[in-house]
Amino acid sequence: MKMFDTVTQKLRDSRKIVFVTGAGISQESGIPTFRGKDGHWRKHDPMKLASIDAFYDDPKLVWEWYEDRRKNILAAKPNEGHFAISEMEKFKDVVVLTQNIDGLHQRSGSTNVLELHGSIIRIKCTVCNFSDNITENFESLPPKCECGNMLRPDVVWFGEALPQDVWKNAMKEASTCDIMIIAGTSLVVSPANTLPVYAKQNGATLIEVNPEKTVMSNDMDLSIQATSANALLRIISILKNE
């Protein structure tokens, strides 16, 4: 297919590839998306549960939802799309900027991952500076910090700013890549949707991988309408067989 030949040639000539990934690549591992048809939980709208207001209105309900999600995520496995991205590290300088909170990129072997929206397997205190990975089930919800205040999932909720150190590094990586591959995301969430702008200002080639056209498709240099697993597996197989 000519499209893949073009993509492969650009990858071959590149030095640094930045991936921007979203819910679509995780959905291929069986993790539901917020906006998808299965994006409802006990008749609650996850778009409303994932907010600081919802947390303080009903912290137990929000924690129950996140515990359900965490169990599903820990039971999921990285798919061929994740593994294709980690495999590319053998050939190129690869950085992953992900909107996902599931840790599947790291579990597939990617070593340079910036989690724009945090991680579901980390917790932090609502008051003090405590943060840590979740290593066991909580006896009661919401869990309490040693300082006596509530703990919360270490994720970015709607209306909250991204961690500034992570976002600063993400902008730097986007501004210094030769190729940016946007995989499994329609990039409707700000400020992640500005990352292609930083890449383009550096003269990078923008490649979109998504089964459907998105609002960003017309701004791409190349748009591959396929799932991340199928498209990225094909690209890495071509690179490996050169």
Task: Give pLDDT tens digits for 64-86.
Answer: 999 999 999 999 999 999 999 99
Q: Taking Cα atoms as reference points, which of 20, 24, 18, 83 lies closest to residue 225? A: 24
- Residue 191: is the preceding peptide bond cis (ω within 30°)? yes
Residue 147 is assigned to a ligand binding site: yes
Query: By residue range, what is the domain housing residue 209?
Result: 1-31+77-117+162-242
Tracing tokens 């990352």 back to the chain, one arrives at 195
Between strands 151-155 and 118-125, the pairing is antiparallel
Res 192 pLDDT > 80: yes
pLDDT band at 119 (very low <50, low <70, confident <90, very high): very high
Based on the domain organization, do 171 and 223 belong to the same domain? yes
Handedness of CA 77, 81, 83, 85 (dihedral sign): negative
Choosing from 40, 44, 105, 117, the catalytic residue is 117
> What's 100's domain CATH number?
3.40.50.1220
If one counts the domains in the chain, the total is: 2
- Structural domain ending residue among the three candidates 155, 174, 203: 155
Are 179 and 217 found together in one domain? yes
Same domain, 191 and 238: yes
**Does 186 appear as a known binding residue?**
yes
Examine the domain organization and report whether 48 and 5 are in the same domain. Answer: no
Same-domain check for residues 45 and 150: yes
> Is residue 44 flagged as an active site residue?
no
Q: Residue 52: what residue type?
A: I
Residue type (1 letter), 145: C
Are 86 and 184 members of one domain?
A: yes
| Complete edge-to-edge strand list for the sheet that includes strand 131-133 | 131-133, 118-125, 151-155
- The H or E element containing residue 115 is strand 113-115
Same domain, 126 and 233: no
CB burial readout 115-128, b (16+ within 10 A) else e: bbbbbbbbbbbbee
Task: Tell whether residue 211 is among the known ligand binding residues.
Answer: yes
What pLDDT does residue 35 have?
56
The answer to whether 186 and 23 are in contact (CB under 8 A) is no
Q: Please tell me whether residues 27 and 52 are part of one structural domain.
A: no
Is 59 marked as binding a ligand?
no
Sequence-ordered alpha helix ranges (H) in 143-207: 164-174, 195-201
CATH code for the domain in which residue 54 is found:
3.30.1600.10
Residues 140 and 219 in one domain: no
Are 124 and 198 part of one and the same domain?
A: no
Question: What letter does residue 176 receive in the DSSP assignment?
Answer: T
177 in a labelled binding site:
no
Q: Are residues 237 and 145 in the same domain?
A: no
Q: Are 8 and 85 in the same domain?
A: yes
Q: What's this model's pTM, rounded to 2 decimal places?
A: 0.93
